[in-house]
């Protein structure tokens, strides 16, 4: 078994243990029985809108390469999110580039570049929200320092991407000097991949579209905040809206940790940590985490399974494509 997979399983096991330690499971059942079911339906609607909007935003990022119809984008996005949740060691991140390359003329390596742009936009949006929260809320010093560090790192990555696009020729000259020290055939393959990879960043050249993407990204995460708050209401938590922002930021950082498939452990521990900052008892917080995780996975699994029938997907072929074409 892959070492990364084993490491992820170990991390999940530790976080699950920390999440359930000292928990009376009869209390969990009692909290689950008291949920206001009407809010659950509202949560699912918002979660569906989030996934649709994510697919639409990806289409905007892909526009400089090729305009792709929304149904194909939503189909590929749904299968891609299922792959991310189900395949360990973050290998599922390659699913969308792999699938969109089958449905369009976009090269897999170029599509991978658009995924990186998407991740940077997400990080920038979430961490901007985190910085605003830090200015308005009294939070632990470790959280303040971590958020500022991640924000600075995201700005640095975004700056590097801007440099690659706006100073493409100069950047490629530097890269070519480095590649000239490698064997010819290997260097040529890497050079070809890098050119296609940078093509995936072309959306950044258009300032108007870049601001539109930032608006879409902010909207995605505000919908996520709304979904979190809806579940607060489902559990009867009397918490300020700010609490849903805090839980969202901590959760996004938590699930970035490589764990077992489905974010098992990291999702639950992050929710417990975030809700604990606002005085929610561990048992109630774990009950919330279980429901939140279950509903989020239901959306991912159902939509992914439905659209999987319309997409040709193979993990082994995806890896082969990555090795041979990228």
pLDDT tens-digit series, residues 210-222: 889 989 999 999 9
Average pLDDT, the chain: 85
Q: Whole-angstrom Cα distance, residue 298 to residue 282?
A: 24
The first and second tokens of residue 322, run together, are 């990555």
Confidence class for position 7, pLDDT limits 50, 70, 90: confident
Confidence class for position 153, pLDDT limits 50, 70, 90: confident
The first and second tokens of residue 193, run together, are 């991949």
- Give, to the nearest 10 degrees, the angle between helix 70-86 and helix 282-308: 130
Which of 167-181, 251-265, 270-284 has the lowest average pLDDT? 167-181
Residue 257 has pLDDT above 80, yes or no: yes
Residue 181 has pLDDT above 60, yes or no: yes
Structural domain boundaries, residue 311:
3-324
pLDDT tens-digit series, residues 42-59: 999 999 999 999 999 999
Look at residue 195 in the predicted model and tell me its pLDDT: 66
CA distance from start to end of the chain? 25
Count of domains forming the chain = 1
Burial of 208 from C-beta contacts in 10 A (0-12 / 13-18 / 19+) = exposed
Residue pair 325/106 in contact (Cβ under 8 Å)? The answer is no
The first and second tokens of residue 326, run together, are 């990228």
From the list 159, 146, 142, the residue with the least C-alpha distance to 257 is: 146
More confident residue, 280 or 193: 280
What number of other Cβ atoms are within 10 A of residue 187's Cβ? 15
Residue 322 has pLDDT above 80, yes or no: no
The first and second tokens of residue 250, run together, are 């901590």
Q: Read out DSSP for 53-76? A: HHHHHHHHHHTTT----HHHHHHH
Look at residue 284 in the predicted model and tell me its pLDDT: 96
Taking residues 250-262, report their average pLDDT: 87
Residue pair 141/149 in contact (Cβ under 8 Å)? The answer is no
Taking residues 247-262, report their average pLDDT: 88
pLDDT tens-digit series, residues 128-152: 877 777 777 776 676 667 767 777 7
User: Cα angle at 249 between 248 and 250, to 5 degrees?
Assistant: 95
What number of other Cβ atoms are within 10 A of residue 261's Cβ? 17
Alpha helices in the chain (DSSP H): 3-20, 25-33, 37-62, 70-86, 95-103, 108-136, 141-166, 168-179, 184-199, 207-235, 241-254, 266-276, 282-308, 315-324
More confident residue, 98 or 189: 98
């Amino acid at each position: 078994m892959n070492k990364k997979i084993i490491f992820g399983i170990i991390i999940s096991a530790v976080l699950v243990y920390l999440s359930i330690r000292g928990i009376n499971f009869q209390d969990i059942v009692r909290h689950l029985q008291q949920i206001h079911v009407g809010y659950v339906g509202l949560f699912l609607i918002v979660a569906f809108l989030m996934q649709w909007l994510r697919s639409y935003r990806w289409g905007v990022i892909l526009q400089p390469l090729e305009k792709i119809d929304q149904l194909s984008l939503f189909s590929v996005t749904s299968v891609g999110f299922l792959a991310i949740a189900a395949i360990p060691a973050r290998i599922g991140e390659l699913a969308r580039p792999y699938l969109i390359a089958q449905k369009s003329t976009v090269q897999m390596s170029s599509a991978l570049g658009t995924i990186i742009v998407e991740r940077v936009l997400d990080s920038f949006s979430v961490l901007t929200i985190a910085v605003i929260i830090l200015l308005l809320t009294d939070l632990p010093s470790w959280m303040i320092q971590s958020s500022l560090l991640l924000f600075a790192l995201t700005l640095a990555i975004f700056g590097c991407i801007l440099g690659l696009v706006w100073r493409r020729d100069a950047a490629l000259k530097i890269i070519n000097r480095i590649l000239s020290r490698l064997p010819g055939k290997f260097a040529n393959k890497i050079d070809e991949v890098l050119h296609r990879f940078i093509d995936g960043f072309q959306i950044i050249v258009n300032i108007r579209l870049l601001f539109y993407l930032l608006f879409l990204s902010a909207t995605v995460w505000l919908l996520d905040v709304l979904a979190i708050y809806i579940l607060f209401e489902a559990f009867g938590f009397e918490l300020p809206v700010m609490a849903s922002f805090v839980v969202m930021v901590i959760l996004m950082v938590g699930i970035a940790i490589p764990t077992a498939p489905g974010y098992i452990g990291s999702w639950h521990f992050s929710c417990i940590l975030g809700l604990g900052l606002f005085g929610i008892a561990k048992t109630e917080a774990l009950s919330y985490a279980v429901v939140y995780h279950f509903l989020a996975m239901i959306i991912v699994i159902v939509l992914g399974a439905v659209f999987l029938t319309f997409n040709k997907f193979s993990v082994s072929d995806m890896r082969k494509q990555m090795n041979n074409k990228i």
